[in-house]
Chains A and B, each alone.
Chain A
Amino acid sequence: MFLSQLWLTNFRNYEEAHLNFHQGITLITGNNGNGKTNLLEAIAWFAKGKSFRNTPNEALVLQNKEKAILRAEILHSKRKTTLEAEINFSGRNQLQINGKKVKSKKDLQEKIKTTIFGPEDLSLIKGGPGERRNYLDELLIDLHTKNQLIKTNFEKCLKQRNTLLKQAKGKTTNEIEATLDVWDEKFAESGQQLANERKNLLETLKPEIENTLKKFTNNRDMVLFEYEQFWENDKLIEALQIERQTDIRRGITTIGPHRDEIAIKVNGLLAKSHASQGEQRSLALGLRLGGHELVKKTTGNEPIILLDDVFSELDSTRCQTLIELLPKKQAVLTTTGELPSGVKPDYKYHVVEGSINSSE
């Protein structure tokens, strides 16, 4: 599978744009703020069903327009598939495959996958537990689109339960207790499911990450990944009941998969606080590349690699290794500065304030 064409209408700073894509490496150059990353964001939108920068719809639509339209042509062993997304300033997005309406972003996600490397990737290691949970959850969806439903269901239960707790204002009534009972049940059911999926994923992911890490680090560091949950497995409903009074008092759900952590340790020490900046960068790259390999192996579909200005952040050895690991299939990269010497793009685009010049 690879992306062959992309059309943008009223998306970000692009009024109208069309780009041809090919297998191999496509380079997008241009000064900051001219819209390089917006192009990657457009490609990834189909795979994520949203902006990978988590930008709300209002900011994706060009000023004073009601909607943005993204269209992509995908080639899969010579078969053409057209994906279309109408992103509405207010209201629901409309999705289409080959001109036919589809209901869920899951349908699009089955057609196109992306692996994104960004300048913020270091936060996978340095940031809070939420960054690592998100990393796992996004990978879960890339692997099996049905996981989207597990994630959405859990998030909905969490939101409903939290709202109910807030409405209780620290006091409990029979009515609230009885309503909490049913939300506890749905929360525990979907939460257990999500946590199980995450743990299974982490197990299959470990060898992939270790493999890629070997290429970055010469020394024999012991890297460990542990899923930490602060509740006993299969006993989430009991944990919720134990914490219920605390939850009511604080107006928020204090236990569950939304508080779990993926601890990354190097030689027994937490990478978050103890690894050097260089080690942290290697680990972050390891997570991305390991995930990419796993999706490729599991789905038989190699995700399109999107590199958003990552070279400026890496030293030359890491740049070199990353380039060597780049897939032969399709990669799209943006850069403001010079490219590392080993990168030979097959196609080039230059972006100036929302207009695209081809320099193939």
Chain B
Amino acid sequence: MYIDAVEEVIDALGRLPGIGPKSAQRITFHLMRLPVEDIELLTSAISLMKEKIRFCDSCFNISEQELCPICKDGQRDKGMLCVVEEPKDIIALEKTAEFRGKYHVLGGSISPIDGIGPEQLKVAELLRRIEPERIEEVIIAMNPNIEGEATAIYIARLLEPLGVKVTKIASGLPVGGDLEYADELTLGRALVGRHPVNEEYKNV
């Protein structure tokens, strides 16, 4: 429809989450009108981020170094691990100030529709942390939706034979939503009110 150079930008933007073909088109035409300095500011900011930011070797949180600040922090409770889907969930949970352990970022939830199975997630890496780090309790804090629940069951089944206590943050979070949208108070309460996962699924 357009010349290739334009088409390529529309295509690349359209692959981003939450941007449909029409928005991609609108943004592209907006970019075209921008002065060259503004474009350079944007592209270099993106490149710099990509250069500097990596994932923590231990928990897969975003980090500037091999280990993220939380993993490096000696003051944190070592026996507790909170499993989340995305780095942004860590931010939400940190705001509650209810959790003083460490985290493990899975990178999503089990969702065949999106082509995500356990092997696409950091599940094996999670299991490898339990013994050396002497983890006693794993708190599963997935998004309150079907995929999150299925992932919680999957992980709990792998963790239990390792002799670790597996709990899940309490419900009461808006169903179908994302962890990041829950307010601090609700999320804090959900953390405090966590309960063992096995009680839940063995009744089914």
Is A196 part of the binding interface, using a Cβ–Cβ cutoff of 8 Å?
A: no
Chain A 235-253: CB-based contact to B (< 8 A → 1; otherwise 0): 0010000000000000000
User: Distance (Å) between the CB of A78 and the closest chain B CB?
Assistant: 32
Q: Which residues of B contact A101 (CB under 8 A)?
A: none
Is B23 part of the binding interface, using a Cβ–Cβ cutoff of 8 Å?
A: yes
Within 8 A of A (CB), among B141-198: 146-147, 149-151, 153-154, 157, 174-177
Is A131 part of the binding interface, using a Cβ–Cβ cutoff of 8 Å?
A: no
A189 and B204: CB pair below 8 A?
Answer: yes
Chain B 92-127: CB-based contact to A (< 8 A → 1; otherwise 0): 000000000000000000111100011100000000
Give the docked Cα–Cα distance between A66 and B21 (Å): 11
A164 and B112: CB pair below 8 A?
Answer: yes
Q: Which residues of A contact B147 (CB under 8 A)?
A: 156, 160
Is A314 part of the binding interface, using a Cβ–Cβ cutoff of 8 Å?
A: no
Chain A 263-287: CB-based contact to B (< 8 A → 1; otherwise 0): 0000000000000000000000000
Q: Given contacts A185-B204, A186-B149, A237-B204, are A163 and B112 in contact (CB under 8 A)?
A: yes
Q: Given contacts A90-B20, A237-B204, are A185 and B153 in contact (CB under 8 A)?
A: yes
User: Distance (Å) between the CB of A202 and the closest chain B CB?
Assistant: 24
Q: Which residues of A contact B22 (CB under 8 A)?
A: 66, 89-90
Q: Which residues of A contact B113 (CB under 8 A)?
A: 159-160, 163
Give the docked Cα–Cα distance between A156 and B150 (Å): 12
Give the docked Cα–Cα distance between A152 and B176 (Å): 10
Q: On chain A, which size bracket covers the interface?
A: 20 to 34
Q: What is the predominant secondary structure among interface residues of chain A facing chain B? A: helix
Q: Which residues of B contact A157 (CB under 8 A)?
A: 146
User: Distance (Å) between the CB of B122 and the closest chain A CB?
Assistant: 15
- Name B150's closest neighbour in chain A (CB-CB): A182
- Name B154's closest neighbour in chain A (CB-CB): A182
Give the docked Cα–Cα distance between A103 and B181 (Å): 12
Give the docked Cα–Cα distance between A183 and B119 (Å): 16
B18 and A91: CB pair below 8 A?
Answer: yes
Cβ-defined partner of B117 (8 Å) among A90, A156, A175, A186: A175
Q: What is the predominant secondary structure among interface residues of chain B facing chain A? A: helix
Is B201 part of the binding interface, using a Cβ–Cβ cutoff of 8 Å?
A: yes
Give the docked Cα–Cα distance between A13 and B13 (Å): 31
Q: On chain B, which size bracket covers the interface?
A: 20 to 34
Q: Which residues of B contact A188 (CB under 8 A)?
A: 204
How many pairs, one residue from A and one from B, have CB atoms within 8 Å of each other in the complex? 67
Q: Which residues of A contact B175 (CB under 8 A)?
A: 149
- Name A66's closest neighbour in chain B (CB-CB): B22
Within 8 A of A (CB), among B1-58: 18, 20-23
Is A301 part of the binding interface, using a Cβ–Cβ cutoff of 8 Å?
A: no
Q: Which residues of B contact A179 (CB under 8 A)?
A: 110, 112, 117-118, 154
Q: Which residues of A contact B151 (CB under 8 A)?
A: 182
Cβ-defined partner of B112 (8 Å) among A88, A160, A178: A160
Give the docked Cα–Cα distance between A164 and B147 (Å): 13
B146 and A182: CB pair below 8 A?
Answer: no
B154 and A91: CB pair below 8 A?
Answer: no
Is A153 part of the binding interface, using a Cβ–Cβ cutoff of 8 Å?
A: yes
Is A211 part of the binding interface, using a Cβ–Cβ cutoff of 8 Å?
A: no
Is A316 part of the binding interface, using a Cβ–Cβ cutoff of 8 Å?
A: no
Q: Which residues of A contact B149 (CB under 8 A)?
A: 186
User: Distance (Å) between the CB of A60 and the closest chain B CB?
Assistant: 15
Q: Which residues of B contact A358 (CB under 8 A)?
A: none
Is A167 part of the binding interface, using a Cβ–Cβ cutoff of 8 Å?
A: yes
A182 and B177: CB pair below 8 A?
Answer: no
- Name B147's closest neighbour in chain A (CB-CB): A160
A178 and B154: CB pair below 8 A?
Answer: yes
- Name B21's closest neighbour in chain A (CB-CB): A90
User: Distance (Å) between the CB of A257 and the closest chain B CB?
Assistant: 15
Can you name 16 extra interface pairs (CB under 8 A) apart from A89-B20, A104-B176, A163-B112? Answer: A66-B22, A89-B22, A90-B22, A91-B18, A91-B23, A103-B177, A160-B111, A160-B146, A175-B119, A179-B110, A182-B110, A182-B150, A182-B151, A182-B157, A185-B201, A186-B153
- Could you list 30 examples of A-B contacts with CB < 8 Å? A90-B20, A90-B21, A91-B20, A91-B23, A103-B174, A103-B177, A149-B176, A153-B146, A156-B146, A156-B147, A157-B146, A159-B113, A160-B111, A160-B113, A160-B146, A160-B147, A164-B117, A167-B112, A178-B118, A178-B154, A179-B112, A179-B118, A179-B154, A181-B157, A182-B110, A182-B150, A182-B151, A182-B153, A182-B154, A186-B153
Residues of A within 8 A of B (CB): 66, 88-91, 103-104, 149, 152-153, 156-157, 159-161, 163-164, 167, 175, 178-179, 181-183, 185-186, 188-190, 237
3 residue pairs, one from A and one from B, having the closest CB atoms: A90-B20, A163-B112, A164-B112
